[in-house]
A and B are shown apart, each in its own frame.
Chain A
Amino acid sequence: MRIGVFVCWCGSNIAKTVDVEAVAEAAKSFPGVVYATDYKYMCSEPGQNMVAEAIKEHNLDRVVIASCSPRLHEPTFQRCIGAAGLNPYMVEMANIREQCSWVHERTPETTEKAIELTRMAVAKVARNVPLFQNDIGITKRALVIGGGVAGIQAALDIADAGHPVVLVERTPSIGGRMAQYDKTFPTLDCAACILTPKMVDCASHPLIDIWAYSEVEEVNGFVGNFDVKIRKKATCVDPKLCTGCGLCLEKCIVKDVPSEFDEGMGLRRAIYSPFPQAVPNKPVIDREHCRIFNGGKCGVCQKVCPTGAISYDTVDEVVEEKFGAIVVSTGFELWDHSALGNYGYGKYPDVISSIQFERIMNASGPTEGHIVRPSDGKTPKSIAFISCVGSRDDEHGHAYCSKVCCMYNAKQALLVKDKLHDVETYVFYMDIRANGKGYEEFVKRTIEDYGANYIRGRISKIYPDGDQMVVKGADTLLGKAVEVRADLVVLATAMQPQHDAKDLARKLGISTDQYNWFSEAHPKLKPVEVLTDGIYLAGACQYPKDIPDTVAQASGAASKAIGLFSKDAIKSEPMIAYIYEDTCVGCGLCVDVCPFTAIELVEVVDKERSTRDNQVVKTVARINEGVCKGCGTCSAACRSLSARLRGFEGSGILAQIDALADMVKIKK
């Protein structure tokens, strides 16, 4: 055994508090060490060359780098010694920076600790064995979950790169939230005008399959090889026969279903398309409201359909498909503020949410773009916009900022002034957060050119007086109470994760944060990835985002999928768990504790008990190598020491502990 030890100064990061030369000197006496040295920056090119040359010159077979956290430079030095002809896994890092020099003063004890950490790494590397990567094939086909602007963008980008995409959307049409909006800040493009071309592109793209009215039921497998069960809900309408003529919608006799798309401000039929530009433009029957499914007699839609596309006995279909990558773009919901009494939402018809106001402003909305109040249809003379309703509000479970409300408040206050010249607008805000390209200028324009009255303060109560609403609160800049009479009150309610985000996270095996937003792999450096390889996030399912950020992230997620598909096979990570089947008793505890569902129980021949004439089987655990992330939970749980982690075998860990114990004993 010929171990080389390389002690890094990390400039002054380590050398300032640790006597690096003393560490290198001490290392020379460790068992198996034939060469030890120190250098200013081990990770630099000259530093790496030094390691490579020492391997050749001193015929080293194992290397210890005493420097920073393996999270930073373990791959660097694995590559370095790999290029020098060693197996890349014959290197160990002793973290004498984060775990030593950064957290201690310059004392002899600090150097002593660095020596002990290095000694432990030497003990472990002496027991390292070569590990090898395997090739795993991949399915070059992506699943995009959620057909809002994020999912649409991701699907288009992946398909444009030449890979087939299935875009799953649970409502009857793609388009998502953006399709509901009137204009978009800060440029005031009409949302539909910029979104519908993309929707149509999706529909006509030869590589994109849109599965609307469908939901993901179960996800198995791993990066490059996901097996996904998708439920295609019964629509009663044969998409191959339906021409989208809309006759059924006109003739349906159930006319009083509140429209989800219009946020309850308008009505729809029992057979419906959510909006005129729906893609796919095929209606579905809402079985909850259709007479046929509620014991009634009807069948009008079937009778009027010119192509005979409607049949009432279709059933849900569950299909199982293979995908290599999954983009999650399931978006957000808005907080239902009616649970809370003092703003009167849900109680007073003229207190509405911002998304309802979007529908009122929208030319294709329930009022055809005429701004009127829901109670009496009158044109409002004064409108109060209230921001942070639920957002930045620990008490109501959203400590975070919903990020887009300041901007759409400004947009709505501007647009309404554009349409109704003699309206007075009031915007109640906590802070104005307008940190995007052209955003600050936009808010300024609303205030200065469109005369919106911005009042800094929170609202305590909204109540009716005559045919107006009284908005009561505090002006925190003037330091006095403020009361505004408004014909219409618009509440900017908090964005929150989809109510079933947690369920989807469970199906996908990804994690969520305290609010149930999906968690990214790293807040700064891996904002698109999640901890499960091959699954990427796009849009507001991760955290509130505006349209530009959503689209940018969607393209980012797509590029990650395309990058994955640019290879024919992926390298498996060799530092994963394996089962020593001879001693495994098949108790299944590892199956229960595995956070990645990477372990299953299988039957194998029991070598101990089988004879030539009588083959006996026993149950043992088996690791799915593509799914295992090498977290080691199974090996910690296993009582018979049969679940083991490559690169972190018990013998190596015990050798480290023994080495430390020896050094402590010597000191005593």
Chain B
Amino acid sequence: MIQDTIRQEAKKALESGEVRMVIGWGAGSVPFKTTPVFVDNPQDTDKLIWNPACTNNLAVYLTKLARDGKVGIVAKPCDVRSIVTLIREKQVKRENVFIIGVGCGGVVDATSLQNGDVKLREITSLEWDGGDLLVTTETTKTKLSAAAVLREQCKECDDRTPSVSDVSIGEAVVRASDLKIEIPGLSEDRQKYWAEQFSRCIRCYACRQVCPACYCETCFCDRIEPKWTAKKATTDEAWMFHATRAMHLVGRCISCGECERVCPVGIPAVELARELNAIAKERYGFEAGDPQADKPLLGNYQENDVDPAHHSE
């Protein structure tokens, strides 16, 4: 139903010529392993799908695709926070995006669905049923608990309807957000923890490529002069890269978790930005992607700001 409305809205926008393309999710190798699709023909709008496995943050494509003309984008509430950040940072003009906002109850990790009798290929529908995910196949109906299937970043999220949109589709899914995110990276032994994590980094930069906030044309780590990090994949150099990237994301990362999802060696890079954002919220009441905030966190100095040097935790 939501999926039908998305297709109708996309078709309308394409037919009227308001947008030249709609970015959305389409079926992947199996219907619940989704992939980004770029629809530029009204006939193709039935390629667009919507289900709790639509995980990609599609805002990453806007910086290039919405530069010279208007495009439509199907966006979850968290994706909208990315779009808000891009607009504030002047990477996208508001008039160049047509936001088809979709209410969201959290997205799931498709691979976590296949257990026991359920095979990914046989699933015919996924839907939220209270606090559980109802997984239907031709023959079975299984309920899986949210804690077991939700993507990590969705566990504490209570942003269920898009804060900014041109068309808003779907009711917010009611689901208690009493789940807590475990952040092992903040434990006493965090230096050891992160040294272990970064030792696996192969410097493929997938985390950077998938991140909507990483839009620099030349990343600091690709500079030859000054050379802030060497190219070699050692723990020290990886540390320099990830720590600098985390600092670049303070107040800008909307915790979509894409960096963590795409990492081939499983480094939970989002944890760093998530913690920095938690500090920003606690000290300065700042939330990344909040359309009410008129200035970026690091570009807004108030005299009564908490001085971290004198801040007692």
Binding site for B on A (CB under 8 A): 582-583, 585-589, 591-593, 601, 608, 616, 619, 637, 639-641, 649-651, 653-654
Contacts and interface: CB of A to CB of B under 8 A. Distances in A.
A585 B215 contact: yes
B216 A639 contact: yes
20 contacts: A583-B216, A585-B91, A585-B217, A587-B90, A588-B90, A589-B299, A592-B298, A593-B298, A593-B301, A601-B90, A608-B217, A616-B68, A637-B298, A637-B299, A640-B218, A640-B219, A640-B220, A641-B218, A654-B226, A654-B227
Interface in B280-313: 295-296, 298-301
B76 to A, nearest CB: 24
Given A583-B217, A583-B218, A619-B90, A589 B298 contact: yes
Contact of A592 (B91, B219, B220, B295): B295
B67 to A, nearest CB: 9
A650 B225 CA distance: 8
B90 A641 contact: no
A124 to B, nearest CB: 12
A518 to B, nearest CB: 16
A592 B300 contact: yes
A509 to B, nearest CB: 14
Contact of A586 (B68, B90, B220, B225): B90
Interface residues of B, number: 22
A601 B90 CA distance: 10
Contact of B296 (A583, A585, A589, A619): A589
B156 interface: no
Contacts of A650: 226, 228
Interface string B225-247: 11110000000000000000000
A654 B89 CA distance: 28
Nearest to A580: B218
A32 to B, nearest CB: 18
B248 interface: yes
Contacts of B299: 588-589, 591-593, 637
Nearest to A651: B226
A587 B89 contact: yes
A654 B228 contact: yes
Contacts of A591: 299
A68 B209 CA distance: 47
A649 B226 contact: yes
Interface in B196-214: none
A592 B90 CA distance: 13
Contacts of B225: 651
B211 to A, nearest CB: 12
B190 interface: no
B215 A592 contact: no
A576 to B, nearest CB: 19
A641 B220 contact: yes
Contacts of A585: 91, 215-217
Nearest to A593: B299
B92 to A, nearest CB: 11
Q: List the 3 shortest-distance A-B pairs measured between CB atoms, nearest first.
A: A592-B299, A650-B226, A640-B216
Contacts of B227: 654
A245 B301 CA distance: 53
Contacts of A639: 216, 220, 248
Interface in B87-141: 89-91
A13 B269 CA distance: 50
B223 interface: yes
A651 B227 CA distance: 7
A591 B300 CA distance: 11
Contacts of A589: 89, 296, 298-299
A650 B68 CA distance: 33
Contacts of B300: 592
A641 B226 contact: yes
Given A592-B300, A637-B299, A639-B248, A587 B223 contact: no
A109 to B, nearest CB: 26
Contacts of B217: 583, 585, 608, 640
Contacts of A640: 216-220
A616 B227 CA distance: 30
A17 B219 CA distance: 45
A89 to B, nearest CB: 18
Contacts of A653: 226
B93 to A, nearest CB: 10
Contacts of A637: 298-299
Contacts of B216: 583, 585, 639-640
Contacts of B215: 585
Nearest to A591: B299
A519 to B, nearest CB: 14
Contacts of B218: 582-583, 640-641
Nearest to B63: A585
A501 to B, nearest CB: 14
Contacts of A649: 226
A616 B67 CA distance: 10
B296 A592 contact: yes
Contact of B91 (A583, A587, A601, A651): A587
B125 to A, nearest CB: 42
A450 B220 CA distance: 77
Contacts of B248: 639
A655 B80 CA distance: 42
Given A641-B223, A650-B228, 19 more contacts: A583-B216, A585-B91, A586-B90, A589-B89, A592-B296, A592-B298, A592-B299, A593-B299, A601-B90, A608-B217, A640-B216, A640-B217, A640-B218, A640-B219, A640-B220, A651-B225, A651-B226, A653-B226, A654-B227
B250 to A, nearest CB: 11
A660 B84 CA distance: 42
A310 to B, nearest CB: 45
Contacts of B301: 593
A586 B86 CA distance: 11
B75 to A, nearest CB: 21
A588 B85 CA distance: 12
Contacts of B226: 641, 649-651, 653-654
Contacts of A587: 89-91
Nearest to A592: B299
A300 to B, nearest CB: 49
Nearest to B220: A641
Contacts of B298: 589, 592-593, 637
Most chain A C-beta atoms within 10 Å of own C-beta, residue among B223, B226, B296: B226
Nearest to B299: A592
A653 B226 CA distance: 9
Interface in B47-74: 68
A230 to B, nearest CB: 28
Nearest to A658: B227
A639 B301 CA distance: 18
A237 to B, nearest CB: 41
A74 B299 CA distance: 32
A601 B228 CA distance: 27
A658 to B, nearest CB: 10
A641 B227 CA distance: 11
Nearest to A640: B216
Nearest to A636: B298
Contacts of B90: 586-588, 601, 619
A390 B64 CA distance: 61
A608 B64 CA distance: 13
B220 A588 contact: no
Contacts of B220: 639-641
A589 B248 CA distance: 11
A639 B296 CA distance: 13
Contacts of A601: 90
Contacts of A588: 89-90, 299
A588 B295 CA distance: 10
Nearest to A601: B90
Nearest to B249: A639
B299 to A, nearest CB: 3
Contacts of B219: 640
Select the residue from A585, A586, A601, A619 with max chain B CB neighbours within 10 A: A585
